[in-house]
């Protein structure tokens, strides 16, 4: 019987004692987790104590919102100068409060008054924090933030309901609104970095006597066409053309290959690390899901190898080594404040390799790169204790050369190794022989579970639990642990690769360095020998996100991103369902993304005519605009990160919501059918898609129209004839523009007009 399945004989309600919960409740389900987004704000100390400072601050704000109401209103509506207001507040503080004659204390109050008057009061640190996407004020002492789709209580509070009213009143005045309606929605553009979309419900419709407020943050800092011209993505004439297409084109697609790496970069195929330049069609690749941090083996949707002259290279001694094409999308993480400490955020960010180069070489990049992932195989056919024994066998055991059995001997001298080996052999319960020698060695002999002296490809089938057992025990034999320092050494490359993979799968950063000792002489027991092997040294760290150094104090160890030639004149990549990969270069694992065309599309949508009703659907919130008339929707996931609302679901909604312009962040599947339904009904669309050349793009869209349908390839292509503009991008430049001039039913080909060809392509 299936778990929790009701039957006639055992109806659920009569057998509640047999119920098995699907998943245990977590701490987040049962406790209110407080997210400290206030950071370092509370470090400023005063001479008169926090309670007195709160009293003074509230008295000041009350005074200016009652006795000096007209001055406060003039400031909010832009009719009075900030310096006049601040001088008046400063004089009032000195005149009214003896404590405020201390300059440092008065400066603290002045700063709070400025934030409350010009910005967003106690909510400002929440708005400034890049982790937060939404802020909800449920009460003066109940302010919540949404981070990565989950809601947390923040430690920001208003002093009382009166201060909350003051804040909302000031925001309303700033935006020329009256608080006399049950529900008010508006957009505030006063913040330096975010567009803030407000929804305020008045007390008249609430069950409490103060308003609720919800704020959605939308970043402001997207590049426009003029910035992209400066970045040499396109010339001014192409800008003019695209602005024209935003009005007159029925369908515009921004296409291009995913971002690429060089020939020396390796991918993992399930049994070994392999150069990406040596990929064959039977290989799988390790894709990464940024939402869950899980890595899974998949067949790539597409393998890409295209000519390339120049790339960007950067490396550090702490585990970074990457060579990327200019248009490659880099995954990185920023730091955030948690409980007053700076820590790496778990919210992934993206930027092009070109933008990364500019920021890093100007000393302005503060992000870091992820080096670990969660991986679990089907399971190794060994028990936990057998795995522990095999770790000792592989690291320290020997098998007689011609012996056909698994009889193994392990000679150890260190007491900790003797104790550990004796312990696990006794736990195993199989027969073994122990013999001591006068030189301090002890030999343990037994039939090993397997006859192996290296970690073979079979070990990659371990579950995550088995990999954790390996991480907890392997350093007892060929490793070293002292505090936070962990190392592992071996002369077997296969073993080094596997141990790196095991630790990386369990939340560690692991780098491999090679020590070439071949032909070096050494003496053992009075005899002289020559070394014949390379040695591989693994350095294991708990710090899984690594940044790049930059100092402005004269030190010379800054990490500079350099332009280099592609080793073999090519760049390589895979397209995978999650559009992110686990790769390795020179022994350093990193997580990276493909390249998007989103930057150009983001600039393009600013010119969609104001008379249209536009729906934007996307997997992540990368597309945004200041225009009115846009609706933005994105894919949502459940608590276990399963998709609840997919791109295809969102596309269906567009057909019943009265939209006549459809923007899709990146088409990947069946949503393309609904795009075409809208176009063929007289609507418009703009989207991005992966393709390897301009002329392949329409066929790629036809494949997506077919996805999950009964359409033939020819029928799908015929449906696409209303899609009339292809903008092909590569190396962070627009390389080619085609217009589709109908479909030839006899040749089964699209007719194209070549509009633009880049005369000076970058890195080609």
Per DSSP bridges, beta strands 580-585 and 479-482 are: unpaired
Collapse the DSSP code of 709 into the 3-class scheme (helix H, G, I; strand E, B; otherwise coil) and give the result: coil
Which residue carries 């929707």 as its tokens? 633
Q: What is the pTM of this model?
A: 0.57
Looking at the structure, tell me whether residues 589 and 600 fall in a common domain.
no
Q: Write a three-state SS string for 167-203.
A: HHHHHHHHCCCCCCCCEEEEEECCCCCEEEEEEEECH
Looking at the structure, tell me whether residues 243 and 281 fall in a common domain.
no
Looking at the structure, tell me whether residues 390 and 508 fall in a common domain.
yes
Chain segment 318-374, per-residue pLDDT in tens: 889 999 988 788 889 998 877 777 889 888 887 878 889 989 999 989 999 999 999
Q: Which of 507, 541, 575 delimits the end of a domain? A: 541
Contact criterion met (CB below 8 Å) for 224 and 217? no
* CATH classification at residue 453: 3.10.28.10
Q: Is residue 495 part of a domain?
A: yes
Alpha-carbon span 672 to 651, nearest angstrom: 8
Q: Would you give the distance in Å from CA 155 to the centre of its chain?
A: 26
Looking at the structure, tell me whether residues 395 and 466 fall in a common domain.
yes
Alpha-carbon span 628 to 319, nearest angstrom: 46
Looking at the structure, tell me whether residues 587 and 605 fall in a common domain.
no
Alpha-carbon span 631 to 636, nearest angstrom: 16
Which tokens is 352 given? Answer: 């092009």
Percent of the chain that is helix, strand, coil (3-state, to 5): 30, 30, 35
Contact criterion met (CB below 8 Å) for 740 and 723? yes
Alpha-carbon span 652 to 654, nearest angstrom: 5
Contact criterion met (CB below 8 Å) for 154 and 143? yes
Supply the DSSP string of 476-515, one letter for each residue. HHHEEEETTEEEEEES-HHHHHHHHHHHHHBT-EEEEEEE
Q: Is residue 38 part of a domain?
A: yes
Supply the DSSP string of 454-468, one letter for each residue. S--GGGGG--HHHHH
Which tokens is 425 given? Answer: 């052999």
Q: Is residue 680 part of a domain?
A: yes
Looking at the structure, tell me whether residues 500 and 569 fall in a common domain.
no
Beta bridge partners of 364: none
Looking at the structure, tell me whether residues 111 and 96 fall in a common domain.
yes
Looking at the structure, tell me whether residues 345 and 414 fall in a common domain.
no
Q: Whose CA is closest to 238, among 750, 764, 763, 760?
A: 760
Looking at the structure, tell me whether residues 570 and 674 fall in a common domain.
no
Full residue range of the structural domain in which residue 535 is found: 384-541
The rounded average pLDDT for each run of 10 residues, N- to C-terminus, in the chain (764 residues) is 52 54 56 53 66 87 84 83 91 93 90 85 84 85 79 82 82 77 74 80 63 79 83 90 95 85 96 95 92 90 79 92 88 82 82 86 92 95 96 95 90 95 96 93 96 96 96 94 88 96 96 86 78 88 92 81 91 81 95 72 92 81 74 58 59 71 81 83 88 88 84 88 90 88 89 94 59
Q: Is residue 147 part of a domain?
A: yes
Contact criterion met (CB below 8 Å) for 277 and 570? yes
Alpha-carbon span 751 to 764, nearest angstrom: 27
Which tokens is 651 given? Answer: 């596309």
Q: Which of 219, 242, 276 delimits the end of a domain? A: 219
Other C-beta atoms within 10 Å of 38: how many? 18
Beta bridge partners of 321: 315
Looking at the structure, tell me whether residues 71 and 215 fall in a common domain.
yes
User: What's the Cα-to-Cα distance from 666 to each of 206, 619, 727, rounded to whole Å?
Assistant: 40, 8, 14
Q: Is residue 121 part of a domain?
A: yes
Which tokens is 92 given? Answer: 């009032």
Q: Whose CA is closest to 490, among 520, 512, 472, 466?
A: 512
Q: Is residue 476 part of a domain?
A: yes
* CATH classification at residue 312: 2.170.16.10
* CATH classification at residue 233: 3.40.50.300
Eight-state DSSP code of residue 712:
-
Q: Is residue 709 part of a domain?
A: yes
- The whole-number pLDDT of residue 30 equals 56
Looking at the structure, tell me whether residues 569 and 702 fall in a common domain.
no
Q: Helical H runs in 298-383?
A: 353-361
Contact criterion met (CB below 8 Å) for 229 and 236? yes
Total domain count, the chain: 4
Alpha-carbon span 352 to 328, nearest angstrom: 5
Looking at the structure, tell me whether residues 211 and 252 fall in a common domain.
no
Per DSSP bridges, beta strands 251-256 and 684-690 are: parallel
Q: Is residue 549 part of a domain?
A: no
- The whole-number pLDDT of residue 635 equals 60
């Amino acid at each position: 019987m299936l778990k929790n399945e009701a039957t006639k004989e055992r109806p659920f309600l009569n057998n509640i004692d047999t119920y098995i919960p699907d998943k245990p409740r977590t701490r987040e389900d049962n406790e209110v987790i407080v997210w400290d987004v206030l950071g370092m704000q509370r470090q400023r100390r005063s001479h008169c104590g926090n309670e007195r400072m709160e009293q003074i601050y509230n008295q000041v704000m009350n005074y200016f919102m009652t006795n000096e109401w007209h001055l406060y209103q003039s400031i909010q509506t832009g009719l009075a100068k900030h310096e006049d207001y601040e001088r008046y507040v400063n004089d009032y503080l000195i005149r009214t409060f003896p404590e405020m004659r201390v300059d440092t204390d008065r400066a603290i109050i002045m700063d709070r008054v400025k934030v409350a008057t010009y910005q967003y009061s106690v909510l400002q640190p929440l708005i400034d924090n890049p982790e937060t996407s939404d802020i909800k004020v449920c009460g003066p002492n109940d302010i919540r933030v949404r981070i990565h789709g989950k809601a947390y209580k923040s430690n920001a509070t208003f002093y009382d309901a009166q201060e909350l009213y003051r804040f909302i009143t000031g925001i309303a005045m700033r935006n020329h609104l009256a608080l006399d309606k049950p529900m008010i929605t508006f957009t505030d553009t006063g913040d330096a970095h975010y567009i803030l979309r407000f929804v305020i419900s008045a007390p008249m419709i609430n069950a409490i006597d103060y308003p609720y407020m919800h704020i959605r943050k939308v970043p402001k800092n997207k590049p426009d066409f003029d910035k992209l011209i400066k970045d040499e993505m396109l010339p001014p004439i192409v800008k003019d053309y695209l602005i024209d297409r935003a009005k007159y084109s029925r369908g515009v697609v921004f296409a291009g290959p995913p971002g690429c790496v060089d020939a020396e970069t390796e991918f993992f195929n399930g049994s070994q690390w392999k150069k990406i330049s040596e990929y064959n069609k039977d290989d799988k690749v390790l894709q990464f899901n940024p939402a869950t941090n899980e890595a899974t083996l998949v067949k790539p949707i597409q393998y890409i190898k295209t000519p390339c002259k120049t790339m960007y290279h950067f490396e550090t001694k702490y585990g970074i080594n990457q060579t990327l094409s200019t248009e490659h999308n880099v995954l990185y993480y920023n730091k955030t404040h948690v409980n007053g400490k700076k820590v790496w955020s778990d919210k992934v960010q993206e930027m092009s390799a070109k933008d990364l180069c500019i920021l890093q070489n100007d000393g302005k990049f503060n992000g870091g790169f992820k080096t670990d992932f969660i991986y679990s195989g089907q399971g190794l056919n060994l028990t936990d204790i057998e795995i522990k024994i095999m770790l000792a066998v592989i690291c320290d055991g020997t098998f007689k050369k011609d012996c056909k059995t698994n009889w193994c001997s392990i000679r150890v001298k260190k007491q900790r190794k003797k104790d550990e080996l004796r312990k696990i052999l006794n736990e195993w319960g199989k027969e073994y022989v122990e013999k001591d020698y006068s030189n301090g060695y002890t030999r343990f002999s037994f039939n090993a579970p397997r006859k192996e002296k290296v970690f073979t490809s079979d070990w990659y089938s371990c579950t995550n639990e088995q990999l954790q057992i390996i991480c907890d025990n392997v350093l007892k034999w060929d490793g070293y642990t002292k505090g936070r320092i962990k190392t592992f050494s071996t002369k077997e490359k296969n073993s080094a690769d596997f141990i790196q993979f095991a630790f990386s799968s369990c939340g560690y950063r692991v780098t491999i360095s090679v020590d070439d000792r071949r032909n070096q002489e050494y003496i053992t027991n009075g005899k002289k020998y020559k070394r014949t092997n390379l040695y591989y040294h693994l350095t294991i760290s708990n710090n899984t996100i690594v940044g790049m150094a930059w100092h402005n104090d004269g030190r010379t160890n800054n990490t500079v991103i350099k332009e280099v030639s592609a080793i073999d004149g090519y760049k390589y990549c895979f397209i995978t369902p999650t559009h992110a990969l686990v790769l390795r270069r020179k022994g350093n694992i990193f997580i990276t993304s493909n390249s998007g065309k989103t930057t150009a599309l983001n600039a393009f949508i600013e010119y969609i005519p104001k008379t249209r009703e536009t729906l934007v659907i996307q997997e992540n919130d990368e597309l945004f605009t200041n225009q009115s008339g846009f609706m933005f929707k994105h894919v949502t996931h459940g608590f276990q990160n399963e998709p609840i609302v997919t791109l295809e679901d969102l596309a269906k909604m567009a057909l019943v919501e009265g939209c006549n312009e459809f923007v899709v962040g990146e088409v990947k599947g069946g949503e393309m059918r609904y795009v075409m339904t809208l176009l063929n009904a007289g609507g418009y669309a703009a989207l991005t898609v992966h393709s390897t050349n301009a002329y392949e793009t329409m066929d790629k869209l036809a494949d997506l129209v077919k996805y999950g349908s009964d359409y033939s390839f020819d029928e799908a292509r015929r449906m696409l004839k209303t899609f009339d503009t292809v903008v092909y991008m590569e190396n962070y430049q627009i390389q080619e523009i085609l217009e589709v001039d109908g479909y030839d039913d006899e040749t089964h080909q699209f007719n194209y007009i070549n509009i633009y060809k880049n005369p000076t392509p970058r890195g080609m």
